[in-house]
């Protein structure tokens, strides 16, 4: 399987999932994008098509709290913890988790568990 084929398959899985997963103002969608080096998170209200908050392993807020490689499980867990804090600042108590077509495994799972540990309900 070629890299482009893997990318196209992930995109198809992501689109299928987005037919079901929908964020509202009361329960926004926590969207995850993962690259080989970084992870990007967004809290999205799909009703108004607005991003309520965003965070990534490239953000200064993350870099202040975590030193080291941004593409591993420890970084994903740290990002999830900071995302939980950001959600509380934005008065978000519950989210709908959008794994973005990725398997619920590894860094995606670490982010989700850390956000849950911060007190945000899925």
Query: Which pLDDT belongs to residue 18?
Result: 82
Query: Which pLDDT belongs to residue 20?
Result: 86
Whole-number Å distance between alpha carbons of 18 and 3 = 23
All structural domains of the chain: 3-117 (3.30.420.100)
92 and 83 Cβ atoms separated by less than 8 Å: no
Percentage above 90 pLDDT, the chain: 75
Query: Which pLDDT belongs to residue 41?
Result: 97
74 and 68 Cβ atoms separated by less than 8 Å: yes
Residues 90-105 have a mean pLDDT of: 94
Whole-number Å distance between alpha carbons of 91 and 98 = 19
Residue 67 token pair:
């030193």
Whole-number average pLDDT of the chain: 93
Report pLDDT digits (tens) over 13-70. Answer: 888 888 888 898 899 999 999 999 999 999 999 999 999 999 999 999 999 999 989 9
27 and 43 Cβ atoms separated by less than 8 Å: no
């Amino acid at each position: 399987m070629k890299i482009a084929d893997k990318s196209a398959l992930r995109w198809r899985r992501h689109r299928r999932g987005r037919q079901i997963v929908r964020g509202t103002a009361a329960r926004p969608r926590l969207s995850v994008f993962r690259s080989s080096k970084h992870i990007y998170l967004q809290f999205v209200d799909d009703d108004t098509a607005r991003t309520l908050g965003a965070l990534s392993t490239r953000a200064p807020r993350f870099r202040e709290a975590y030193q080291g490689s941004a593409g591993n499980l420890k970084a994903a867990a740290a990002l999830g913890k900071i995302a939980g804090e950001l959600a509380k600042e934005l008065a978000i108590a519950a989210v709908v988790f959008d794994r973005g077509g990725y398997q619920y495994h590894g860094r995606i799972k670490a982010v989700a568990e850390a956000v849950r540990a911060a007190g945000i309900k899925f």
